[in-house]
Protein backbone atom coordinates (compact mmCIF):
# COMPACT_ATOMS: atom_id res chain seq x y z
CA UNK A 1 0.00 0.00 0.00
CA UNK A 2 1.41 3.42 -0.98
CA UNK A 3 0.80 6.16 1.60
CA UNK A 4 2.23 9.66 1.25
CA UNK A 5 2.85 12.20 3.99
CA UNK A 6 -0.54 13.85 3.52
CA UNK A 7 -2.73 10.78 3.15
CA UNK A 8 -5.53 10.39 5.69
CA UNK A 9 -6.30 6.76 4.88
CA UNK A 10 -5.86 4.10 7.55
CA UNK A 11 -6.99 0.64 6.54
CA UNK A 12 -8.92 -1.88 8.62
CA UNK A 13 -5.80 -3.79 9.65
CA UNK A 14 -4.98 -0.94 12.07
CA UNK A 15 -8.09 -1.59 14.20
CA UNK A 16 -7.72 -2.34 17.93
CA UNK A 17 -4.04 -1.48 18.09
CA UNK A 18 -2.25 -0.31 21.23
CA UNK A 19 0.28 2.38 20.25
CA UNK A 20 2.74 4.04 22.62
CA UNK A 21 4.47 7.36 21.92
CA UNK A 22 7.68 7.40 23.96
CA UNK A 23 9.65 10.48 25.07
CA UNK A 24 12.15 10.63 27.93
CA UNK A 25 9.88 13.19 29.60
CA UNK A 26 6.83 15.09 28.39
CA UNK A 27 6.98 18.85 27.91
CA UNK A 28 4.14 21.07 26.65
CA UNK A 29 4.70 20.30 22.97
CA UNK A 30 4.93 16.54 23.55
CA UNK A 31 1.54 16.68 25.23
CA UNK A 32 0.07 18.71 22.36
CA UNK A 33 1.33 16.19 19.80
CA UNK A 34 0.01 13.12 21.59
CA UNK A 35 -3.35 14.78 22.27
CA UNK A 36 -3.76 15.41 18.54
CA UNK A 37 -2.64 11.88 17.67
CA UNK A 38 -5.17 10.42 20.10
CA UNK A 39 -7.97 12.55 18.61
CA UNK A 40 -7.28 11.43 15.05
CA UNK A 41 -6.60 7.76 15.88
CA UNK A 42 -9.22 6.89 18.49
CA UNK A 43 -12.17 6.90 16.04
CA UNK A 44 -10.20 4.37 14.00
CA UNK A 45 -9.95 1.99 16.95
CA UNK A 46 -6.32 2.85 17.68
CA UNK A 47 -5.50 3.34 21.36
CA UNK A 48 -2.78 5.99 21.71
CA UNK A 49 -0.96 6.38 25.02
CA UNK A 50 2.09 8.33 26.17
CA UNK A 51 5.13 6.80 27.82
CA UNK A 52 7.93 8.68 29.58
CA UNK A 53 10.86 7.74 31.77
CA UNK A 54 10.50 10.60 34.27
CA UNK A 55 8.26 13.57 34.99
CA UNK A 56 11.17 16.01 34.92
CA UNK A 57 14.77 16.36 33.79
CA UNK A 58 17.76 18.58 34.52
CA UNK A 59 18.22 19.53 30.86
CA UNK A 60 14.57 20.49 30.34
CA UNK A 61 12.99 21.55 33.67
CA UNK A 62 9.46 21.82 32.31
CA UNK A 63 6.50 22.05 34.66
CA UNK A 64 3.91 20.52 32.37
CA UNK A 65 0.33 20.08 33.49
CA UNK A 66 -0.63 16.44 33.05
CA UNK A 67 -4.10 16.51 34.59
CA UNK A 68 -7.14 16.35 32.29
CA UNK A 69 -5.21 14.72 29.44
CA UNK A 70 -7.23 12.93 26.77
CA UNK A 71 -4.71 10.07 26.75
CA UNK A 72 -3.06 7.84 29.33
CA UNK A 73 0.43 9.04 30.31
CA UNK A 74 2.54 6.32 31.88
CA UNK A 75 5.61 7.44 33.86
CA UNK A 76 8.29 4.86 34.59
CA UNK A 77 9.88 6.78 37.50
CA UNK A 78 8.03 9.55 39.35
CA UNK A 79 10.66 9.92 42.09
CA UNK A 80 13.75 10.98 40.12
CA UNK A 81 14.76 13.38 37.40
CA UNK A 82 15.63 11.56 34.20
CA UNK A 83 19.39 12.07 34.49
CA UNK A 84 19.45 10.82 38.09
CA UNK A 85 17.90 7.39 37.49
CA UNK A 86 20.51 4.58 37.77
CA UNK A 87 20.91 2.96 34.36
CA UNK A 88 20.25 -0.59 35.57
CA UNK A 89 17.06 0.51 37.29
CA UNK A 90 15.95 2.47 34.21
CA UNK A 91 16.41 -0.57 31.97
CA UNK A 92 14.75 -3.08 34.29
CA UNK A 93 11.80 -0.81 35.11
CA UNK A 94 11.25 0.01 31.45
CA UNK A 95 11.28 -3.62 30.35
CA UNK A 96 8.93 -4.54 33.19
CA UNK A 97 6.49 -1.79 32.18
CA UNK A 98 6.62 -2.71 28.48
CA UNK A 99 5.92 -6.34 29.34
CA UNK A 100 2.96 -5.19 31.40
CA UNK A 101 1.52 -2.86 28.75
CA UNK A 102 2.47 -5.00 25.75
CA UNK A 103 1.99 -2.35 23.02
CA UNK A 104 1.61 -3.36 19.39
CA UNK A 105 3.56 -0.37 18.05
CA UNK A 106 6.06 1.96 19.72
CA UNK A 107 7.01 5.40 18.42
CA UNK A 108 10.49 6.15 19.79
CA UNK A 109 12.18 9.55 19.97
CA UNK A 110 15.59 8.98 18.46
CA UNK A 111 18.22 6.29 18.88
CA UNK A 112 20.85 7.94 21.08
CA UNK A 113 19.20 7.44 24.48
CA UNK A 114 19.62 4.03 26.13
CA UNK A 115 15.90 3.98 26.99
CA UNK A 116 14.96 4.24 23.31
CA UNK A 117 17.35 1.48 22.30
CA UNK A 118 15.99 -0.78 25.04
CA UNK A 119 12.43 -0.12 23.82
CA UNK A 120 13.49 -0.75 20.21
CA UNK A 121 15.03 -4.12 20.95
CA UNK A 122 12.12 -5.04 23.23
CA UNK A 123 9.85 -4.42 20.21
CA UNK A 124 11.94 -6.47 17.81
CA UNK A 125 12.38 -9.39 20.21
CA UNK A 126 8.60 -9.68 20.54
CA UNK A 127 7.63 -9.19 16.91
CA UNK A 128 6.25 -5.69 17.47
CA UNK A 129 6.57 -2.66 15.19
CA UNK A 130 8.81 0.32 15.93
CA UNK A 131 8.61 3.81 14.42
CA UNK A 132 11.53 6.23 14.73
CA UNK A 133 10.76 9.88 15.52
CA UNK A 134 13.85 11.75 14.33
CA UNK A 135 15.17 15.25 13.77
CA UNK A 136 18.79 14.33 13.05
CA UNK A 137 20.36 15.78 9.91
CA UNK A 138 23.64 15.33 8.08
CA UNK A 139 25.43 18.44 9.39
CA UNK A 140 24.50 18.14 13.08
CA UNK A 141 28.01 16.94 13.90
CA UNK A 142 31.13 15.55 12.20
CA UNK A 143 30.26 12.14 10.78
CA UNK A 144 32.61 9.19 10.94
CA UNK A 145 32.26 6.20 8.62
CA UNK A 146 32.10 3.68 11.45
CA UNK A 147 29.50 5.57 13.46
CA UNK A 148 27.36 5.96 10.37
CA UNK A 149 27.60 2.22 9.69
CA UNK A 150 26.49 1.54 13.24
CA UNK A 151 23.57 3.97 12.83
CA UNK A 152 22.55 2.17 9.65
CA UNK A 153 22.49 -1.05 11.65
CA UNK A 154 20.27 0.51 14.34
CA UNK A 155 17.96 2.24 11.83
CA UNK A 156 17.46 -1.05 9.98
CA UNK A 157 15.40 -2.30 12.92
CA UNK A 158 12.80 0.45 12.55
CA UNK A 159 9.75 -0.17 10.39
CA UNK A 160 9.06 3.51 9.58
CA UNK A 161 9.93 7.04 10.70
CA UNK A 162 8.37 10.42 11.38
CA UNK A 163 10.73 13.35 10.81
CA UNK A 164 10.71 17.11 11.17
CA UNK A 165 11.40 18.14 7.59
CA UNK A 166 13.34 17.69 4.38
CA UNK A 167 16.93 17.60 5.73
CA UNK A 168 15.90 14.95 8.26
CA UNK A 169 14.28 12.84 5.56
CA UNK A 170 17.44 13.05 3.45
CA UNK A 171 19.60 11.96 6.36
CA UNK A 172 17.49 8.88 7.08
CA UNK A 173 17.62 8.01 3.40
CA UNK A 174 21.42 8.21 3.68
CA UNK A 175 21.11 5.68 6.51
CA UNK A 176 19.27 3.37 4.07
CA UNK A 177 15.73 3.92 5.34
CA UNK A 178 13.35 3.65 2.36
CA UNK A 179 11.82 6.99 1.37
CA UNK A 180 8.27 5.59 1.30
CA UNK A 181 8.54 4.66 4.99
CA UNK A 182 9.40 8.22 6.11
CA UNK A 183 6.59 10.60 7.08
CA UNK A 184 6.52 14.23 8.21
CA UNK A 185 5.16 16.20 11.15
CA UNK A 186 7.49 15.49 14.07
CA UNK A 187 8.56 19.03 15.02
CA UNK A 188 5.43 20.93 15.96
CA UNK A 189 4.13 22.87 18.96
CA UNK A 190 0.63 23.83 20.04
CA UNK A 191 0.32 26.95 17.88
CA UNK A 192 -2.83 28.04 19.71
CA UNK A 193 -0.87 28.58 22.92
CA UNK A 194 0.90 31.49 21.22
CA UNK A 195 -2.10 32.97 19.39
CA UNK A 196 -1.40 36.70 19.08
CA UNK A 197 -5.03 37.63 19.64
CA UNK A 198 -4.94 35.76 22.96
CA UNK A 199 -1.63 37.11 24.23
CA UNK A 200 -1.55 40.70 22.96
CA UNK A 201 -3.29 41.94 26.13
CA UNK A 202 -0.52 40.64 28.41
CA UNK A 203 1.55 43.31 30.21
CA UNK A 204 4.53 44.66 28.29
CA UNK A 205 7.68 43.18 29.94
CA UNK A 206 9.92 46.12 28.99
CA UNK A 207 9.00 49.55 27.69
CA UNK A 208 11.33 49.43 24.66
CA UNK A 209 10.90 47.67 21.30
CA UNK A 210 13.09 44.56 21.32
CA UNK A 211 14.58 41.59 19.53
CA UNK A 212 13.80 38.32 21.31
CA UNK A 213 15.97 35.20 21.68
CA UNK A 214 15.07 32.14 23.77
CA UNK A 215 17.76 29.51 24.39
CA UNK A 216 19.58 27.32 26.80
CA UNK A 217 22.83 29.12 27.52
CA UNK A 218 25.12 26.53 25.92
CA UNK A 219 27.84 26.93 23.26
CA UNK A 220 25.89 25.74 20.22
CA UNK A 221 23.27 28.45 20.74
CA UNK A 222 25.95 30.96 19.66
CA UNK A 223 24.89 33.71 22.04
CA UNK A 224 28.31 35.40 22.23
CA UNK A 225 28.03 35.84 18.46
CA UNK A 226 24.54 37.29 18.88
CA UNK A 227 25.74 39.78 21.50
CA UNK A 228 28.64 40.89 19.30
CA UNK A 229 26.36 41.37 16.28
CA UNK A 230 23.91 43.29 18.45
CA UNK A 231 26.68 45.55 19.82
CA UNK A 232 27.61 46.42 16.23
CA UNK A 233 23.94 47.10 15.52
CA UNK A 234 23.84 49.59 18.40
CA UNK A 235 26.86 51.42 17.02
CA UNK A 236 25.22 51.88 13.63
CA UNK A 237 21.59 52.57 14.50
CA UNK A 238 20.02 55.89 15.49
CA UNK A 239 19.95 55.58 19.29
CA UNK A 240 16.47 57.12 19.49
CA UNK A 241 15.07 54.18 17.50
CA UNK A 242 17.35 51.34 18.68
CA UNK A 243 15.67 48.09 19.67
CA UNK A 244 16.75 46.36 22.86
CA UNK A 245 17.66 42.65 23.07
CA UNK A 246 15.95 40.19 25.43
CA UNK A 247 17.64 36.85 26.14
CA UNK A 248 15.36 34.33 27.85
CA UNK A 249 17.01 31.25 29.29
CA UNK A 250 19.79 30.04 31.52
CA UNK A 251 22.60 27.51 31.57
CA UNK A 252 26.29 26.81 31.87
CA UNK A 253 27.37 29.93 29.94
CA UNK A 254 25.45 32.43 32.06
CA UNK A 255 28.57 33.99 33.60
CA UNK A 256 30.33 34.20 30.22
CA UNK A 257 27.31 35.91 28.70
CA UNK A 258 27.10 38.41 31.55
CA UNK A 259 30.83 39.14 31.17
CA UNK A 260 30.47 39.67 27.42
CA UNK A 261 27.58 42.08 27.94
CA UNK A 262 29.78 44.05 30.37
CA UNK A 263 32.77 44.03 28.01
CA UNK A 264 30.65 45.31 25.13
CA UNK A 265 29.09 48.00 27.31
CA UNK A 266 25.53 47.04 26.42
CA UNK A 267 24.16 46.41 29.92
CA UNK A 268 21.42 49.01 29.48
CA UNK A 269 20.10 47.45 26.26
CA UNK A 270 20.31 43.70 26.98
CA UNK A 271 17.81 42.06 29.34
CA UNK A 272 18.39 38.59 30.86
CA UNK A 273 15.20 37.02 32.18
CA UNK A 274 16.50 33.64 33.35
CA UNK A 275 14.72 30.39 32.58
CA UNK A 276 10.97 30.88 32.08
CA UNK A 277 8.15 28.38 31.79
CA UNK A 278 5.97 28.62 28.69
CA UNK A 279 3.29 30.81 30.29
CA UNK A 280 5.97 33.22 31.53
CA UNK A 281 7.36 33.57 28.00
CA UNK A 282 4.07 34.67 26.48
CA UNK A 283 4.40 38.42 27.30
CA UNK A 284 7.76 38.44 25.50
CA UNK A 285 6.29 36.73 22.44
CA UNK A 286 3.36 39.16 22.55
CA UNK A 287 5.47 42.33 22.50
CA UNK A 288 8.68 41.45 20.67
CA UNK A 289 9.33 43.00 17.28
CA UNK A 290 11.41 40.16 15.84
CA UNK A 291 12.69 36.75 16.91
CA UNK A 292 16.37 35.78 16.45
CA UNK A 293 17.82 32.26 16.54
CA UNK A 294 21.59 32.03 16.02
CA UNK A 295 22.56 28.37 16.63
CA UNK A 296 25.64 26.96 14.93
CA UNK A 297 23.94 23.56 14.95
CA UNK A 298 20.31 22.78 15.72
CA UNK A 299 18.35 19.68 14.85
CA UNK A 300 15.19 21.77 14.46
CA UNK A 301 14.55 24.78 16.76
CA UNK A 302 11.01 24.63 18.15
CA UNK A 303 11.25 28.16 19.56
CA UNK A 304 11.08 29.32 15.93
CA UNK A 305 7.71 27.55 15.61
CA UNK A 306 6.56 29.33 18.77
CA UNK A 307 7.69 32.73 17.54
CA UNK A 308 5.97 32.27 14.19
CA UNK A 309 2.79 31.11 15.94
CA UNK A 310 2.92 34.39 17.88
CA UNK A 311 3.03 36.25 14.57
CA UNK A 312 6.67 37.34 14.77
CA UNK A 313 9.07 37.83 11.85
CA UNK A 314 12.11 35.61 12.34
CA UNK A 315 15.86 35.75 11.72
CA UNK A 316 17.06 32.14 11.61
CA UNK A 317 20.52 30.60 11.31
CA UNK A 318 20.80 28.53 8.16
CA UNK A 319 22.26 25.70 10.29
CA UNK A 320 18.93 25.15 12.06
CA UNK A 321 16.95 22.10 11.04
CA UNK A 322 13.81 24.19 10.67
CA UNK A 323 15.43 26.65 8.26
CA UNK A 324 14.59 24.79 5.07
CA UNK A 325 10.95 24.10 5.96
CA UNK A 326 9.89 27.13 8.02
CA UNK A 327 11.82 30.09 6.59
CA UNK A 328 10.49 31.71 3.41
CA UNK A 329 13.24 34.18 2.58
CA UNK A 330 12.07 37.79 2.59
CA UNK A 331 8.47 36.76 3.24
CA UNK A 332 8.33 35.67 6.90
CA UNK A 333 11.91 36.57 7.79
CA UNK A 334 15.51 36.05 6.73
CA UNK A 335 18.19 33.39 7.08
CA UNK A 336 21.85 34.07 7.85
CA UNK A 337 25.23 32.38 8.26
CA UNK A 338 25.83 31.96 12.04
CA UNK A 339 29.53 32.73 11.52
CA UNK A 340 28.95 35.99 9.64
CA UNK A 341 28.49 38.68 12.28
CA UNK A 342 28.16 41.51 9.76
CA UNK A 343 25.32 39.69 8.00
CA UNK A 344 23.30 39.41 11.21
CA UNK A 345 24.03 43.03 12.15
CA UNK A 346 22.78 44.17 8.75
CA UNK A 347 19.61 42.10 9.15
CA UNK A 348 18.96 43.64 12.55
CA UNK A 349 19.32 47.08 11.01
CA UNK A 350 17.01 46.04 8.19
CA UNK A 351 14.34 44.69 10.54
CA UNK A 352 14.31 47.81 12.72
CA UNK A 353 14.22 50.16 9.72
CA UNK A 354 10.80 51.58 8.93
CA UNK A 355 10.74 50.35 5.32
CA UNK A 356 10.22 46.73 6.46
CA UNK A 357 6.52 45.90 6.95
CA UNK A 358 6.84 43.92 10.17
CA UNK A 359 3.11 43.35 10.43
CA UNK A 360 2.86 41.74 7.00
CA UNK A 361 5.96 39.64 7.62
CA UNK A 362 4.50 38.49 10.94
CA UNK A 363 1.22 37.58 9.26
CA UNK A 364 3.14 35.51 6.71
CA UNK A 365 4.95 33.72 9.55
CA UNK A 366 1.65 32.98 11.28
CA UNK A 367 0.05 31.71 8.07
CA UNK A 368 2.96 29.41 7.22
CA UNK A 369 3.26 27.86 10.68
CA UNK A 370 -0.36 26.68 10.50
CA UNK A 371 1.00 23.93 8.22
CA UNK A 372 3.06 22.72 11.19
CA UNK A 373 0.42 22.11 13.86
CA UNK A 374 -0.13 19.14 16.20
CA UNK A 375 -2.56 17.80 13.59
CA UNK A 376 0.38 17.55 11.18
CA UNK A 377 2.12 15.28 13.69
CA UNK A 378 -1.10 13.32 14.21
CA UNK A 379 -1.39 12.75 10.47
CA UNK A 380 2.18 11.51 10.38
CA UNK A 381 1.41 9.11 13.22
CA UNK A 382 -1.68 7.82 11.44
CA UNK A 383 0.24 7.32 8.20
CA UNK A 384 3.12 5.55 9.95
CA UNK A 385 0.70 3.22 11.76
CA UNK A 386 -1.02 2.39 8.49
CA UNK A 387 2.32 1.75 6.81
CA UNK A 388 3.75 -0.57 9.46
CA UNK A 389 0.43 -2.40 9.84
CA UNK A 390 0.61 -3.34 6.17
CA UNK A 391 4.26 -4.25 6.29
CA UNK A 392 4.94 -7.95 6.19
Query: Listing from the earlier edge strand, what are the strands of the sheet with 72-77?
Result: 72-77, 46-54, 17-23, 105-109, 129-134, 160-163, 182-184
Are 316 and 378 part of one and the same domain? no
pLDDT for the residue numbered 222 = 98
Lowest mean pLDDT among 143-152, 157-166, 309-318, 320-329: 143-152
- Within-domain flag for 1: no
- Within-domain flag for 89: yes
Strands (E), the chain: 17-23, 46-54, 72-77, 105-109, 129-134, 160-163, 182-184, 210-214, 244-248, 270-274, 290-293, 314-317, 333-336
pLDDT for the residue numbered 112 = 85
What's the rounded mean pLDDT across residues 125-152?
93
| Residues 6 or more apart whose Cβ sits within 8 Å of residue 271 | 206, 210, 244, 245, 246, 247
| Residues 6 or more apart whose Cβ sits within 8 Å of residue 74 | 20, 49, 50, 51, 52, 97, 101
Are 16 and 164 part of one and the same domain? yes
What's the rounded mean pLDDT across residues 361-374?
97
Are 172 and 209 part of one and the same domain? no
* Cβ atoms of residues 73 and 98 within 8 Å: no
Average pLDDT, the chain: 92
pLDDT-derived band at 78, boundaries 50, 70, 90:
confident
What's the rounded mean pLDDT across residues 85-107?
93
Residue 7, pLDDT > 60, answer no
Are 49 and 99 part of one and the same domain? yes
- Within-domain flag for 147: yes
Lowest mean pLDDT among 53-62, 75-84, 299-308: 53-62
SS3 per-residue string spanning 351-380: HHCCCCCHHHHHHHHHHHHCCCCHHHHHHH
Residue 6, pLDDT > 70, answer no
| Residues 6 or more apart whose Cβ sits within 8 Å of residue 99 | none
Are 206 and 174 part of one and the same domain? no
- Within-domain flag for 42: yes
By percentage, how much of the chain surpasses pLDDT 90? 80
* Cβ atoms of residues 231 and 266 within 8 Å: yes
- Within-domain flag for 291: yes
* Cβ atoms of residues 357 and 331 within 8 Å: no
Are 141 and 197 part of one and the same domain? no
- Within-domain flag for 3: no
Are 355 and 244 part of one and the same domain? yes
Residue 1, pLDDT > 50, answer no
pLDDT for the residue numbered 317 = 98
pLDDT-derived band at 63, boundaries 50, 70, 90:
low
Are 361 and 379 part of one and the same domain? no
Q: Quick one: how far is CA 226 from the chain centroid? A: 21
16: CATH: 3.40.50.2000
Are 152 and 205 part of one and the same domain? no
Residue 207, pLDDT > 80, answer yes
pLDDT for the residue numbered 62 = 63
Are 219 and 248 part of one and the same domain? yes
Are 216 and 183 part of one and the same domain? no
pLDDT digits (tens, 9 = 90+) for 215-244: 999 999 999 999 999 999 999 999 889 999
pLDDT-derived band at 8, boundaries 50, 70, 90:
very low
Domain count, the chain: 2
* Cβ atoms of residues 212 and 248 within 8 Å: yes
pLDDT digits (tens, 9 = 90+) for 151-203: 999 999 999 999 999 999 999 999 999 999 999 999 999 999 999 999 999 99
- Within-domain flag for 2: no
- Within-domain flag for 5: no
Question: Which domain, by its residues, includes 128?
Answer: 12-188+373-389
What's the rounded mean pLDDT across residues 374-381?
97
Are 177 and 320 part of one and the same domain? no
What's the rounded mean pLDDT across residues 288-315?
97
Amino acid sequence: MNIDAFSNTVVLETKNLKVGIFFTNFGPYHIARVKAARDICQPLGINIFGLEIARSSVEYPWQSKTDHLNFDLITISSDHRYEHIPRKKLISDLIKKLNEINPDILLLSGYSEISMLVALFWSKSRGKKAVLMSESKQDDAPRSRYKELFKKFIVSFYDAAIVGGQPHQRYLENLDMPKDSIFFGYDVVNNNDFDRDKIRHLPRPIKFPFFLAINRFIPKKNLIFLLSAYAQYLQRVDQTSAWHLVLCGDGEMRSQIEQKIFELGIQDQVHLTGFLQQAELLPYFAHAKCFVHTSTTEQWGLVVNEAMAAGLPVLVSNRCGCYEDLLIEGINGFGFDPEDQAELTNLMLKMSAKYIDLEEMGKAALMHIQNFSPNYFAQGVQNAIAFVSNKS
